[in-house]
Amino acid sequence: MMSGFGTIAMYLAMSVIGVGAMFLMSRALGPFRPTPTKATTYECGVPLLAAGHNRYSIKYYLVAVLFLIFDIETVLIYPLGVRYSSMAHNSWALFFEIFIFVAILLAGLVYAIKRGAIDWD
């Protein structure tokens, strides 16, 4: 049991040391002459147009939340579909269980739509 954790600890140590060493060595061995041009963000070679941090509409966030509803639905229905035949003695219970689950998620979707989550104006 200890060896399992030991391996993980070793892996962590190696990755920290390895990455650290690479950074330090490139800094120590390579030439380092910064100029303002070199410090700018690389934008396909053309001069910089604007700051990288754009503000975008909060609507995207709501779309992401709506997507999550369907996403979670898929994630939970798939394993059920795969195991369904092996749980045949219990199939109706499982069917209703997943039905209740979908109904709850559907309620969330209806709520979000009624609140105006997909009213784009």
Partner 1 sequence: MSDLGFSFSLSQLWQIAGGQLILIFASLILIFVDLWLTTDEESDHVATMGWLTALSFLVALWYLVHREWPLHEVVLAGVFSAEKFSVFVSAVVLLAGVFASLLSIGYMRNNRMFRGEYFVLLLFAVYGTIAMLQAVDLLMIFIALEVMSLSVYSLAAFLKDSRKSQEGALKYFLLGCFGSAFFLFGLALTYGLTGTVNITKIAQILSVGPFKHPVVLVALAMLMAGLFFKMSLVPFHMWAPDVYEGSPSIITAYMATAVKAGAFGVFLKLMSVAFTPILSLSGQPDFQSTINLGMLAVYWKPVLWWLALLTMFVGNLVAVSQQNVKRMLAYSSIAHAGYMSLGLLAANSEGRMAVLFYLVVYTIMNFGAFGVLFLIDGKEGKAQTLEDYRGLGYRYPTLSFLMSLFLLSMAGLPPTAGFIGKFYLFAAAIKQGYFVLAALGVMTCVIASYYYLRVVWKFYMEEPAREVVAGNISFVTMGVLICLALGVMYFGILPAGLVHIANVAQQSLAMVF
> CB of 69 within 8 A of CB of 107?
no
Residue 1 in the binding site for partner 1 (CB under 8 A): yes
| DSSP per position, 25-62 | HHHHHS-----HHHHSPP-TTSPP-S-S-----THHHH
Residue 4 in the binding site for partner 1 (CB under 8 A): yes
Number of CB atoms found within 10 A of residue 5's CB: 9
Which range of residues in 12-20, 21-29, 49-57, 108-116 is near partner 1 by CB under 8 A? Answer: 108-116
Considering only residues 68-97, where is the footprint of partner 1 by CB under 8 A? Answer: 86-87, 90
Residue 25 in the binding site for partner 1 (CB under 8 A): no
CB of 121 to partner 1, least distance (A): 20
